[in-house]
Amino acid sequence: MRKALSLRICYYSIGVFDMAFLDRMRNIIMELSETAALKKKKVWYLQRQIEALREKVDVLNDQSGNALKTANQARNEALSYYTTNTNIATLSDLRSIEAAQVVAEEVSSIRQRINGGKTRVVFLVPDTSLWDVYAPIYSEMANSVDFHPIVICFLRQDVVADKSESEVIDFFHGIGIDAKIEGYSGLGGFTSIQSYRPDFVFYTLGSAAYPEIYSIEFVSHFCRTCYLSYGFLMVDELDYQFGQSFHSSAWAIFASTPREVQEYELRCKRLSSNVKLVGYPKFDLYRHVVLKKPIRPLIIWAPHWTVGGLYPSLNLGTYDKIYKAMFDLLVSRKDVDFIFKPHPNLKYACSTTGVFSESEFDDYVSSLDALPNVSVWKHGDYFRLFAESTAMITDSVSFLAEYLPTGRPLLFLDRPDRVKMSECGERIIASHYRGYGLVDIDGFLATILSGQDPKFADRERAIAEELYIEKESSASAKIVNALRSAPCV
């Protein structure tokens, strides 16, 4: 009786109900009723719940109308990439989400029994450049008999896309994944998550990047949602990185380091913690690549997007100051191969700040790509590039950590007005070479191409002390095992 009352409260607390969800529940129950005599009591119980829900849903839908849709639309219109989502979900919303996730556990349990025990997991990919954080987890699931991973790559909502639909399709075909592509054609909108019947849905960005029906605050009302950051968190923006409403909406957060666990839990608004320490999944990719020196020197130039004063909370980007000089450098250094690896938001940033129009940015990239010693890489699957490179030049954040396990030198292009990183971030920066412009870039190239590397020991120390890489078990295996052991009725 207590359990029935508890579940009924969980259902009632959601507020706005999905009629398609109720129809699917009815179909599940019908299948169970035909073949599962041992589940007769549970079927009877769930039928009573559905009858009560249908009565309640009519009343609630009359009262609420499209309130949730309107609220989400207002949220997306008000947000930019660099504002927080902190107040999207109220404390009451979060309590409803937690209650709904309890119900989602029971629904998943029933569904898995019908589907032969397969756990269906959806990976929402806002940009192909973000794929690497999911890649080892997807691979772990694809090679397991008890998981059915599904990839949905969609047109990101908060910035200008720097990739066409055909480029996205080619990328996933190239790595052997039959991904679902949503939102690029502009026809028919986005397919609902419910139609994929997921047990878990994975996220790696804040809600502003997603269409409203994919946002974690919305999906968490009917599914167990999982969040892991696409980057290694080193910026000292604690509320932004750890305390937004989508963090508390997630059923689980997979943290990369003990520091992250502490920061998430300090800001968690749930009744119970949703944070699990697993490590940084991208580092698992180094288990499957071979570090080798290229025949010719190969330098990666990876500019960040926060140019000028576009994002004063960071002030990292130097591209607007050096892009002309870098083009001339790449033209003149015919003895060196280069890879141009721009941040996916750089095109948006340049058009927003007036550095380039969108077409001018495309022309610049095409001009680089036309040089015989330059290649352009805009997607994920870049760890093999890291493994085969000689060095990196960047003003990005996450690459400062991600490139460390290669053992190769990196030049961090700094700015006098850059904000201070976390203590961990500043220690990682200190392990690399640092410069401010073309003179320092020339000096860096002269040093490393002559075979010198006086910062090698500093980087080795940073790997051991800052990255939390466990040799015995991978982060992706821990995540998959966490889903396997997730509570089911």
**pLDDT, tens digit, 9 for 90 and up, residues 395-425:** 999 999 999 999 999 999 999 999 889 999 9
| Co-location of 412 and 313 in the same domain | yes
| Co-location of 61 and 150 in the same domain | no
| Co-location of 92 and 177 in the same domain | yes
pLDDT at 46 (0 to 100): 57
pLDDT digits (tens, 9 = 90+) for 230-279: 999 998 888 889 989 889 889 999 999 999 999 999 998 888 889 999 99
| Co-location of 115 and 203 in the same domain | yes
| Co-location of 237 and 356 in the same domain | no
Compute, in degrees rounded to 10, the torsion defined by CA atoms 320, 322, 324, 328: -160
Q: CA separation (Å) from 138 to 112, 153, 477, 479?
A: 19, 14, 10, 11
Q: Kindly state whether residue 489 falls inside one of the protein's structural domains.
A: no
| Co-location of 260 and 290 in the same domain | no
pLDDT at 88 (0 to 100): 62
pLDDT at 31 (0 to 100): 59
The one-letter amino acid at 82: Y
| Co-location of 176 and 87 in the same domain | yes
16 contact partners, CB below 8 Å, separation of at least 6? 60, 61, 64, 67, 68, 221
User: Which CATH number goes with the domain that contains 89?
Assistant: 3.40.50
Q: For residue 247, give its domain range.
A: 67-280+477-484
d(CA 432, CA 454): 10
Query: Around Cβ 338, how many Cβ atoms within 10 Å?
Result: 22
Q: Which residues of the chain have pLDDT under 70?
A: 1-92, 103, 106-116, 186-188, 487-489
Q: How many domains does the chain have?
A: 3
Mean pLDDT of the chain: 83
| Co-location of 440 and 367 in the same domain | yes
pLDDT at 301 (0 to 100): 98
| Co-location of 140 and 240 in the same domain | yes
pLDDT at 22 (0 to 100): 62
pLDDT at 50 (0 to 100): 56
pLDDT at 430 (0 to 100): 97
Longest dimension (CA), the chain: 78
